Amino acid sequence: MIAPSSPHLVDSHCHLDFPDFDGELDEVIARAGEAGIGRMVSICTKPAGLEKVRGIAGRYDQVFFAYGIHPMSVAELPMITVEELVEVAQHPKCVGIGETGLDYHYTAESAAKQQDSLRLHIEACRRTGLPLIIHARDADDDMARILAEEYRAGRYSCVMHCFSSSEALADAALDLGFYLSMSGIAAFPRSKELRAIFAKAPLERILVETDSPYLAPPPHRGKRNEPAYVAKTAAVGAEVFGLSPEEFAAATTANFDRLFARAAAWEAA
C-alpha cells in the first residue's frame, strides 16, 4: 500500500460502469483512495454505456472517462462516426478516445471493419487533441502498420492499453512516441518476457492500470479486479525499473499527466 504522503498512483484504465461494481462503487472508490490511487479513468466501450459512465465521472471528482467502440463490438454495432466521438469528447471529464484497436483472437472475421473503426477513432484524436487508447490482441502486424500510416498522415498521441503483445509492436509504438500501459498481466509469475519488454522501454513512456474488473494481479488473481489493486502492479513495475514504489508512482503519474493533459488540468483547476 502506498502511504498517503506518497505520490498518488493513477489507474489509467478501468471499467467502473460494469455490473461487477453495481451497488458498491462508493466502497470501491474509497478502497482505491486508501491504496494511494488518486485518479481513475473509466473506459466506455459501447454507446449503451455512455450515460452511466458520464454519471460516474460526474459523481466522483477523481474519476474521468474515455469513449470509443471496442474492436470486439464493432461488428454488432453501427459504425461510429468521427463527429459522434468529437461530440462526446466535449465533456470536460472526457480525457481520451477509445478503447479502440484490433482483436483477431476472438473476432478476426470483422478485421476489415475493425480497421475502419480504428482509423475513425484516430481522426477523432487529431480533431480533439485527446489521446488514443488502443486494445491490441493477435494483430501486431496490422496494428503497427495502421498506427504508423495514420501517424504519417497527421500526428496524434496514444497509449497501448494493457500491453501484452510482442517486443516488435512495443518498439513500433515507442518509436512513434506512444506509451505502454502495465496491467496485472505484467505481475503474473509467467510473464517474465513481458516484464523484459517493459524493462527495455523508457520509464517516461510507462503507465499503470487495472483493466478492472479483469486481470487482477497476485495475490488477487482469479478474483474481481478493482482500482485499488493497481498498487500491486505498480509494486512489480517498481522492481522492473529498479525504483522505490514512491519513485515509480511519481514517474507514472507524471507520465499520465503528460498524456492525459485534460485530467491534469482538471486536477490543477
| pLDDT tens per residue across span 127-156 | 999 999 999 999 999 999 999 999 999 999
Cβ-based neighbour number of residue 137 at 10 Å:
18
Predicted TM-score of the model (pTM): 0.95
Is pLDDT above 60 for 178?
yes
pLDDT band at 268 (very low <50, low <70, confident <90, very high): confident
Contacts of 175 (CB under 8 A, 6+ apart): none
Cα–Cα distance, 219 to 228 (Å, whole number): 13
Confidence category of residue 3, pLDDT binned at 50, 70, 90 = very low
- Average pLDDT, integer, range 42-55: 97
- Match 503474473 to its residue by C-alpha cell: 188
Residues 237-258 have pLDDT tens digits of 999 999 999 999 999 999 999 9
Q: Which three cell numbers stand for residue 96?
A: 481520451
207 three-class SS: strand
Helix (H, G, I), strand (E, B) or coil at 72: helix
pLDDT score recorded for residue 1: 35
**What value does the mean pLDDT take over residues 93-98?**
98
Domain covering 9-268, topology = TIM Barrel (3.20.20)
Measured CA to CA, the distance from residue 207 to residue 180 in angstroms comes to: 6
CB atoms within 10 A of CB 103: 20
Instruction: Give residue 15's pLDDT.
Output: 98
| pLDDT tier, 210 (very low <50, low <70, confident <90, very high otherwise) | very high
Distance CA 75, CA 79 (A): 8
Grid coordinates of 267:
486536477
Asked if residue 7 has pLDDT above 80, the reply is no
